[in-house]
Amino acid sequence: MGRWMQTILILIGSAILTHAIPFSSFFRNLDTMIHEFGHALVTLLLSGQVLRMELHADHSGVTYSSMTSTWSAVPIALAGYISSALFAMLMFYLRSKRQQRLGLKLITAQFLLFAACFPDVGGSGVLVAYFDDARGGAAGGGGRRDRT
């Protein structure tokens, strides 16, 4: 089988598995939070300013920031997906080493750090956004609904 065919079959299999495996709202919200926090962290590391961050009930979010240079936008834009991927790899690594408790502690610490830095996310707060979503309500204020 050629490399292209193998790649296509792997992509099709991945697409089927990601729709077949039930991902809970908690983990989808956690992924969005880590994604947005990655944008915010790189913004701060590049001497920018985080204006506000929004997490929405549909598992999307947006980070509004002010940058010191135009070129800062490139690493800031890449930081969201990179931070989510690295965090997921860390969780799988800890699971392989039977360190699930440490993984849960890291998730809790990241949540508390996020809540401390951004206590009023999207006008409703992180906890309210999560619990509204669990009840099927719409949490968060207006604004863009895309993931950055």
pLDDT in tens, 33-75: 899 989 989 998 998 888 888 888 888 888 888 888 888 889 9
Length of the chain: 148
pLDDT in tens, 67-82: 888 888 899 999 999 9
Q: How many CB atoms lie within 10 A of CB 29?
A: 22
| Structural element, H or E, at residue 114 | helix 100-117
**Arithmetic mean of pLDDT, 2-17:** 86
Q: What's the pLDDT at 120?
A: 61
Any idea which residue has 């919200």 for tokens? 29
Q: Supply the pTM of this predicted model.
A: 0.66
pLDDT at 26 over 80: no
Of the pLDDT bands very low, low, confident and very high (cuts 50, 70, 90), residue 30 is: confident
pLDDT at 127 over 70: no
Please work out, in degrees rounded to the nearest 5, the angle formed at the alpha carbon of residue 100 by the alpha carbons of 76 and 91.
25
Q: What's the pLDDT at 144?
A: 36
Determine contact, residues 38/65, Cβ cutoff 8 Å. no
Q: What's the pLDDT at 60?
A: 85
